[in-house]
Amino acid sequence: MSGVVENVNDENYEAFTQAPAAIVAYGLATCEPCKAYDPILEAMAKDHTHVRFGKAKMHVPGQCRSIKKQHTFETYPTTHFFANGKLLLTREGKVETEELTSLIITHFPQVG
């Protein structure tokens, strides 16, 4: 996979989450924990290239309307783990590097 954090929006959400291993972080521009989460996601994307990483910018008008209808977000950031379109896990708040690494190893063991 790419090793970068991709922009996720209504147009590519379904295809993105259909990946064998995908993590989507939902956030807002004004959210301080969301800003602090960005470098963690970027480092994880480089270290775990078998996982597709994405960020949904929920504050951008018109970009994530369908996503908001599919999920209820009580806090930002919220992180979803998907495998082949199935939501495996939800984590609310900023996930620290150690926990995120452990969750990736548990839910997305490297294949091939």
Do the domain assignments include residue 111? no
Give the model's pLDDT for residue 111.
53
Which residues form the domain of 41?
5-106
* Domain CATH for 10: 3.40.30.10
- 20 cis-preceded (ω within 30 degrees of 0): no
Do the domain assignments include residue 89? yes
Say how many domains are in the chain.
1
pLDDT in tens, 89-110: 999 999 999 999 999 999 998 7
* DSSP state letter for 110: -
**Which tokens sit at 35?**
């800003």
pLDDT exceeds 90 at position 1: no
Do the domain assignments include residue 28? yes
Give the model's pLDDT for residue 75.
95
Give the model's pLDDT for residue 25.
98
Helix, strand, coil % in the chain, rounded to nearest 5: 35, 25, 40
pLDDT in tens, 17-71: 999 999 999 999 899 999 999 999 999 999 999 999 999 999 989 899 999 999 9
